[in-house]
């Protein structure tokens, strides 16, 4: 097994010298050879890999590397770094992921697979928003990396009201039937 610590040191030196391709090479070697039980050290390697990607202008791979670092060590450098530079932005990203996952879940369970009215859309968005507020208030997302948050979002089951309108009432010919009363009333005897 190759010495992952020397590759890690070479990768950090390459970042300082602005040899970013060299940094990616050595840091990737280090990740491949670092024992998984050394999660704190592995988190540091992912953190520096994120820095190399950021300096190359590759923002998404950088954030993914920092997320991997946070998964390996929730109290490490990446966790502090991400909370300091993306506090609100990461929360908005979390919110959009949650809404997308829950909305997809709703549509996937619905027979028609689509939203049939503006009122239905508003009701579903309001219901998801209620759950989102409970998630934020609970603090369950604190210290979780992105992949862990997405697993949490997928595990949450919202009790959506699945109702299908049997048919389109606008297609009824009211001319022969007289008045249609859409609800029952009690017979009131005077």
Give a yes or no: residue 182 inside a domain. Answer: no
CATH number, residue 69 = 1.25.40.10
**Structural domain of 101:** 87-161
**pLDDT band, very low/low/confident/very high, at 23 (cuts 50, 70, 90):** very high
Give a yes or no: residue 111 inside a domain. Answer: yes
25 lies in the same domain as 55: yes
Choosing from 85, 101, 116, the residue where a domain stops is 85
Give a yes or no: residue 105 inside a domain. Answer: yes
Give a yes or no: residue 168 inside a domain. Answer: no
pTM equals 0.50
Give a yes or no: residue 167 inside a domain. Answer: no
Number of domains composing the chain: 2
100 lies in the same domain as 77: no
DSSP 160-181: ------SS-GGGS--TTT-PPP
78 lies in the same domain as 118: no
Lowest-pLDDT range of 22-26, 59-63, 150-154: 59-63
Handedness of CA 166, 170, 176, 177 (dihedral sign): positive
**What pLDDT is recorded for position 22?**
93
Residue of 116, 94, 114, 92 lying closest to 104 (CA atoms)? 114
77 lies in the same domain as 147: no
d(CA 61, CA 26): 16
Q: For residue 17, what is the DSSP state?
A: T
Cα 188 off chain centre by: 56
110 lies in the same domain as 125: yes
Q: What are the contacts of 30-37 at 24+ separation with CB within 8 A?
A: 30/4, 30/5, 31/4, 32/4, 33/1, 33/2, 33/3, 33/4, 33/7, 34/4, 34/8, 35/4
Instruction: Report yes or no: 54 and 46 within 8 Å, Cβ to Cβ.
Output: no
Residue of 97, 82, 85 lying closest to 147 (CA atoms)? 97
Higher-pLDDT residue of 173 and 84 is: 84
pLDDT in tens, 86-142: 555 555 578 877 887 787 778 777 776 667 788 888 888 889 889 999 998 898 888
130 lies in the same domain as 106: yes
């Amino acid at each position: 097994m190759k010495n992952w610590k020397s590759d890690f040191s070479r990768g950090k030196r390459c970042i300082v010298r602005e040899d970013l391709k060299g940094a990616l090479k050595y840091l990737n070697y280090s990740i491949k050879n670092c024992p998984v039980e050394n999660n704190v050290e592995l988190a540091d390697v992912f953190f520096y890999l994120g820095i190399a990607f950021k300096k190359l202008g590759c923002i998404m791979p950088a954030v993914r590397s920092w997320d991997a670092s946070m998964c390996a060590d929730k109290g490490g450098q990446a966790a502090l770094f991400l909370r300091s530079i993306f506090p609100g932005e990461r929360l908005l990203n979390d919110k959009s992921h949650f809404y997308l996952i829950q909305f997809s879940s709703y549509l996937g369970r619905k027979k028609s697979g689509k939203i049939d009215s503006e009122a239905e859309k508003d009701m579903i968005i309001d219901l998801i928003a209620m759950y989102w507020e409970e998630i934020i208030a609970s603090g369950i997302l604190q210290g979780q990396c992105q992949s862990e948050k997405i697993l949490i979002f997928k595990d949450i089951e919202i009790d959506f009201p699945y109702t299908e309108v049997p048919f389109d009432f606008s297609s009824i010919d009211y001319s022969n039937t007289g008045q249609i009363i859409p609800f029952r009333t009690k017979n009131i005897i005077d």
